[in-house]
Amino acid sequence: MVTATNVDATAVNTLRWLASGDRTIVVPVYQRQYRWDIGNCEQLLADIRAVADLDDRHMHFIGSVLSAVSDDELVLIDGQQRITTLMLLVAALHHAVGDNDPALSTELQAVLLREGEPGDGPRTTLRPHRAWADVFRSVILGNDADPAVRESRFADNYAFFRSQVSPDEAPHIWRGLQKLEHVAISLGAGANAQQIFESLNSTGEPLRDHELIHNYVLMGLSHAEQVRIEDEYWLPIEQATGESIAAFWEQYLVMRTGRETEDAAGRGVYDVFRQEFPRLEPGALDSHASEWREYAEIHRILREPEREADEDVSRRLAGVGVFGPIAFPLVMRAYRRFRGGDLSREGLLSLLRQVESLLLRRTIVGIGTDRIVARLCRAEHEGAQALSRAMARITPSDERVSVALKYSDLPHPHYVLTRLFDVDARAAWDIDHIVPLAPGEAWSGDGVRSWAEYSEDEQNSHRALARTLGNLALLEERLGMQVFDASFAAKRSGYARSAVGATAALAAHGRWGTKEISARSAALTAQFVRVWPRDALSGIDDDGLTPVLDAVRRRGWPRGWEREWDYVEYRGEHWEVKDVRYLFHRVFARLWADARDAVVAYSARRGGPVYPERAWTGQWDALDADHHLYLGWDSSYMLSAVQGVLAEAGIAEEVFVKYSYIGAVMSTGVRR
- Give mean pLDDT in consecutive 10-residue pieces for the chain, a chain of 672 residues: 68 90 82 80 88 89 86 84 93 88 91 78 85 84 64 77 82 94 81 64 64 86 88 94 93 88 59 83 88 97 96 95 94 96 95 95 85 80 84 85 91 95 93 94 93 94 94 94 92 94 94 94 95 70 56 77 90 89 94 94 82 70 91 77 91 82 62 33
**Strand partners of residue 75:** 26, 68
String of DSSP letters for 593-635:
HH-HHHHHHHHHHHT-SEESS--SSS-EEEEETTEEEE----H
* Distance from the first to the final alpha carbon of the chain: 40
Whole-angstrom distance, CA of residue 635 vs CA of residue 559: 12
- Report the C-alpha dihedral over residues 551, 556, 562, 566, rounded to 10 degrees: -10
Q: How do beta strands 7-13 and 610-611 pair?
A: unpaired
Cα-based angle 157, 586, 160 (whole degrees, multiple of 5): 10
String of DSSP letters for 353-380:
HHHHHHHHHHHHHT---TT-HHHHHHHH
The pLDDT score that the predictor gives to residue 260 is 72
Q: How do beta strands 60-70 and 180-187 pair?
A: parallel
Neighbours of 281 (CB within 10 A): 9
Whole-angstrom distance, CA of residue 596 vs CA of residue 624: 11
Q: How do beta strands 655-659 and 627-630 pair?
A: unpaired
**Strand partners of residue 182:** 12
- DSSP-assigned letter for residue 660: -
Question: b/e for 257-269, b at 16 or more Cβ within 10 A?
Answer: bbbbbbebeeebb
At 229, which amino acid appears? I
The pLDDT score that the predictor gives to residue 465 is 94
The pLDDT score that the predictor gives to residue 452 is 94
Question: Half-sphere exposure of 429 toward its Cβ, with a 13 Å CA cutoff?
Answer: 23
Residue pair 323/369 in contact (Cβ under 8 Å)? The answer is: yes
At 9, which amino acid appears? A
Of 305, 310, 300, 307, nearest in space to 338 by CA = 310
Burial of 457 (C-beta count, 10 Å sphere; 0-12/13-18/19+): exposed
Q: How do beta strands 573-575 and 610-611 pair?
A: unpaired
Assign 3-class secondary structure to 118-163. CCCCCEECEECCCCCHHHHHHHHHCCCCCHHHHCCHHHHHHHHHHH
Kindly give the residue spans of alpha helices, DSSP state H, lying in 394-507. Answer: 398-407, 413-420, 456-465, 477-483, 488-496, 501-504
In degrees and rounded to multiples of 5, residue 454 shows phi and psi of -70, 145
Collapsed DSSP state (helix, strand, coil) of residue 428 = coil
As a whole number of Å, the CA-based R_g of the chain is 29
Of 545, 592, 584, nearest in space to 567 by CA = 545
The pLDDT score that the predictor gives to residue 470 is 95
In sequence order, which residues have a C-beta less than 8 Å from that of residue 57 and are 6 or more positions away?
A: none
Of 200, 179, 235, 177, nearest in space to 67 by CA = 200
The pLDDT score that the predictor gives to residue 384 is 85
Of 555, 564, 627, nearest in space to 593 by CA = 627
Question: b/e for 561-587, b at 16 or more Cβ within 10 A?
Answer: beebbbebbbeeeebebbbbbbbbbeb
Collapsed DSSP state (helix, strand, coil) of residue 495 = helix
In degrees and rounded to multiples of 5, residue 411 shows phi and psi of -75, 155
The pLDDT score that the predictor gives to residue 200 is 58
- DSSP-assigned letter for residue 652: G
